[in-house]
Amino acid sequence: MKIFISGASGLVGSNCLKHFTEQGVDAIGSYFSYPTSNTVYFNTLDLNDEKNFDVDAFRPDVIVHCGALTHVDYCEDHPEESYEKTVTSTKNLISLALKLNARLVYISTDYVFDGREGPYMEYAEVNPLSVYAKHKLEGEQLSLNASEKNLVLRVTNVYGNEERNKNFVSRIIEQCLNKQKLTLKLPLDQYATPVNAWDVARAMYLLLKDDHMGIFHIASTDWMNRIELALNILKYFPEAEYDLIPVTTQEMKQPAARPLRGGLLKSKFSELYPAFLYGTVDSFVQRFVK
């Protein structure tokens, strides 16, 4: 199996590149705005960019689309850029996959739901609330309609090892290890299912290896709000100095609406792979404390 990963310098993409390579897969990962030592340049917004890695010559069996604009509030204020970086990039990779007869893996989100009745199964009715969410859903639908071989993985609150430590969990750990004071103003009414990007990569590999298709939810056993998530990290750093300020989503006045009771249920995946054990926020943080 040969796999090309778009957005491999980011959180999910870098974990996919590492895991696939360790499994003996011939995998190449690309970057767009942030280069890393093990990635090649590829512009998903312009397939004719002369600097692009030659995907045609590589001839992958699978194209994994991890590149995305994930700043939800920024997307709300910049809908055209959001469309370009989420929908247009997906259309371009779909056309590339069809030309190469490759499968496409599209990474989506629990934001395709309205957050009234979560956590959600795959068959739950979608109802995106924000510009970001609507564009992610459009990307899903384009991917699934393009080929029955394609795979959509919905994830949320992804954390884990990455070069820039941009994710919420890693940032708190880094600040605690550096003995920086934290000021955390967090919503107490936004619930989700945090998942380690390493588990996303492991789950994706199994689904691809066994030729599964359609929509799968990838989530751990954790289901918590942002306050609980922060405290689950901070409990391992008793010397940490921090101000934790609980607020409601309404009080935060964020430009984009959030699905409050969000999160995902992984039973469809777990029924296929009952021996697959997900990590938790606790197990991830413990490695840094040790």
CB 24 within 8 A of CB 72: no
Alpha helices for 49-130 (secondary structure H): 55-58, 72-77, 79-83, 89-100
Domains of the chain with CATH codes: 2-158+194-217 (3.40.50.720), 164-191+222-261+279-289 (3.90.25.10)
Distance separating alpha carbons of residues 270 and 29, to the nearest angstrom: 28
Tokens at 28, concatenated: 């190449």
* Cβ-based neighbours of 237, under 8 Å, separated by 6 or more: 176, 177, 289
Mean pLDDT, residues 78-105: 98
Alpha helices for 106-154 (secondary structure H): 131-146
pLDDT at 121: 97
pLDDT digits over 18-75, tens only?
A: 999 999 999 999 999 889 999 999 999 999 999 999 999 999 999 999 988 999 999 9
- Which residues are registered as beta bridge partners of 108? 154
pLDDT at 165: 85
Distance separating alpha carbons of residues 83 and 88, to the nearest angstrom: 6
pLDDT digits over 196-239, tens only?
A: 999 999 999 999 999 999 999 999 999 999 999 999 999 999 99
Give the E-state strand segments of the chain in sequence order.
Answer: 2-6, 26-31, 39-41, 62-65, 103-109, 151-155, 158-159, 182-187, 191-192, 195-196, 214-217, 224-225, 242-247
